């Protein structure tokens, strides 16, 4: 499938990286383990080395064929021991011998990775919901402040209009009184 057109490609890549991240410590742990076979091999190697050196010391020193034959006889008589399988190789043998355990362990690791992904996704969604709720709260607060400001402006404008009407009415009343007084004075 073309990863450019695969909407779940990123998730698959993340899961495969998660599998690598989950199994790497196990591989490192197994690679660094020293087993009884490793210790036995080191002891056999040291013993064979010592026996070879003793045998080679008895071979007459020289450049001829006798010296070479003596050395090869020592090497044939005291061969290097077969190295044991590494802990990782032994683990691989164990998994091949026990396929049910392999499947169960694989399923457990897969389930653990899927759970970790689901938990991370749920955490991200919860954070996103909290952020959206906070933004909604701030938006509502801003709208409340704006509506309060508009209400106060409307009240101030209405009070100013009322005061202006009252002043105009007072002016009109005084004007009418003045006109009435002037007419009375004329009579």
153 within some domain: no
| Model pLDDT, residue 73 | 83
59 within some domain: yes
Which of 92, 114, 95, 93 has its CA nearest to residue 104? 95
Q: What is the DSSP letter of 72?
A: H
Q: Does the predicted TM-score (pTM) go above 0.75?
A: no
18 within some domain: no
Domains held by the chain: number: 1
65 within some domain: yes
Q: Is the pLDDT of residue 135 over 60?
A: yes
Q: How confident is the model at residue 25 (pLDDT cuts 50, 70, 90)?
A: low
How high does pLDDT run on average in the chain?
Answer: 82
> What sign does the CA torsion over 74, 75, 81, 86 have?
positive
C-alpha pair distances (Å), 37 with each of 14, 33, 54, 98, 136: 38, 11, 25, 21, 66
Structure tokens at 170: 């007072």
Q: What is the mean pLDDT of residues 142-148?
A: 96
| Model pLDDT, residue 45 | 86
117 within some domain: no
Given a contact cutoff of 8 angstroms between Cβ atoms, the answer to whether 89 and 40 are in contact is: no
Neighbours of 49 (CB within 10 A): 12
66 within some domain: yes
61 within some domain: yes
Around 174, how many Cα atoms within 13 Å sit in the side-chain half-sphere? 6
Residue-number span of the structural domain to which 68 is assigned: 35-84
Q: What is the mean pLDDT of residues 51-62?
A: 81
Tokens 């749920």 belong to 122
98 within some domain: no
């Amino acid at each position: 499938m073309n990863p450019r057109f695969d909407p779940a490609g990123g998730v698959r890549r993340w899961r495969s990286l998660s599998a690598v991240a989950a199994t790497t410590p196990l591989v490192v742990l197994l690679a660094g383990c020293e087993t009884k076979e490793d210790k036995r091999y080191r002891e056999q190697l040291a013993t064979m080395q010592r026996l070879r050196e003793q045998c080679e010391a008895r071979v007459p020193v020289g450049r001829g064929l006798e010296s070479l034959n003596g050395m090869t006889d020592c090497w044939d008589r005291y061969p290097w021991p077969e190295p044991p399988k590494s802990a990782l190789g032994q683990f691989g043998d164990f998994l091949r011998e026990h396929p049910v355990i392999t499947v169960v362990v694989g399923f457990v690791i897969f389930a653990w990775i899927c759970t970790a992904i689901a938990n991370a996704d749920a955490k991200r969604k919860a954070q996103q919901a909290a952020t959206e709720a906070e933004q909604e709260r701030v938006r509502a607060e801003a709208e409340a402040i704006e509506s309060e400001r508009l209400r106060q402006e409307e009240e101030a404008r209405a009070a100013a209009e009322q005061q202006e009407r009252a002043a105009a009415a007072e002016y009109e009343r005084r004007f009418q009184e003045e006109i009435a007084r002037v007419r009375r004075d004329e009579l």
